[in-house]
Amino acid sequence: MTTPPASPSETAITLRAHAKLTLGLRITGVRDDGYHLIDAEMVSLDLHDLITVTPRTHDTTALTASGPFSDGMPLDDSNLVARALHLIGADGQGIHLHKQIPHGGGLGGGSTDAATVLRWGGLSTTPAELQRVAALGADIPFCLVGGRARVRGIGEIIDPLPAVDRVVTLVIPPLAVSTPAAYRVWDELGGPVADGPNDLEPAALAVEPELNRWRDMIGDRLGSAPVLAGSGATWFTDGERANALGDLVGEGARVVVARTVPMEVATNRSPLM
């Protein structure tokens, strides 16, 4: 079992937890245990949460949160960060999450937070460890590795790809979509293959019909349809399109221009560009 590098006498450390964006997602099958098999391309973005780890001498992890997407986030043992720390025997830390990645937004907000504390705790990225953490959350293995990669299996098979400098504009509506619910509805719909790059999009639209209105509002302004990020609720399009989409802020959305970052930045091994 991994031993965290911090001791109770050390000072706090603040780490970046980078959002992940799924550029393309095909669902290739379902295992006997119900886990879905995927073939996806994922990238890390410069949009990130900040995680401050404060060593403590207590037996239980203390979670606090701030930031624009902290409302409604669970701060008990159900939080992926608390579960990740328990997985590696590192309970008892003080963790403050400054949330700039939405939960239920399809950008891996909870998964990247969990992956960041696992990395701080010294967890390796061997195939065995990636398989172990995939059972905790399918996006966690990619978030541990970061950068750009082809992701297969239930999320535990990570094949790094060369970094590509890419700018995207994210539209984050005031909605949230449950990933398990989206996969469940995908099954109920008979496993559809989407016309676009994301097989989960038809299921997410069925789970949260309001996403249809947001897709249409974005498409009307761009002249082309956006792509759903993972299970949603975030939509994205290539390029810097904030001017064209800025009026959607008045509808309750956040419009964020983000850039892909390489593995070294995504894993806190080099400064944010």
Q: Report how far apart, in Å, the C-alpha atoms of 85 and of each of 124, 201, 215, 223 are.
A: 14, 32, 37, 45
Query: Among residues 20, 46, 99, 113, which one is catalytic?
Result: 20
Residue 222 domain boundaries:
167-261
What pLDDT band is residue 55 in, cutting at 50, 70 and 90?
confident
Q: Is residue 181 part of a domain?
A: yes
> Is 103 in the same domain as 187?
no
C-alpha dihedral sign at 130, 131, 133, 135? positive
> Is 109 in the same domain as 228?
no
pTM of the model: 0.92
Query: Among residues 46, 49, 113, 139, which one is catalytic?
Result: 139
Computed over every residue of the chain, the mean pLDDT equals 92
20 is annotated as an active-site residue: yes
| Residue 161 burial by Cβ neighbours in a 10 Å radius (0-12, 13-18, 19+) | middle
> Is 183 in the same domain as 99?
no
How many domains is the chain partitioned into structurally?
2
Domain end, chosen from 163, 195, 230, is at: 163
Residues 150 and 169: their CA atoms lie apart, in Å, by 22
**Digit-coded pLDDT (tens) for 208-224:** 999 999 999 999 999 99
76 is annotated as an active-site residue: no
CATH, residue 156: 3.30.230.10
The torsion angles phi and psi of 95, rounded to 5 degrees, stand at -125, 120
Beta strands in 31-61 (DSSP E): 36-54
Percent of the chain, pLDDT > 90?
A: 85
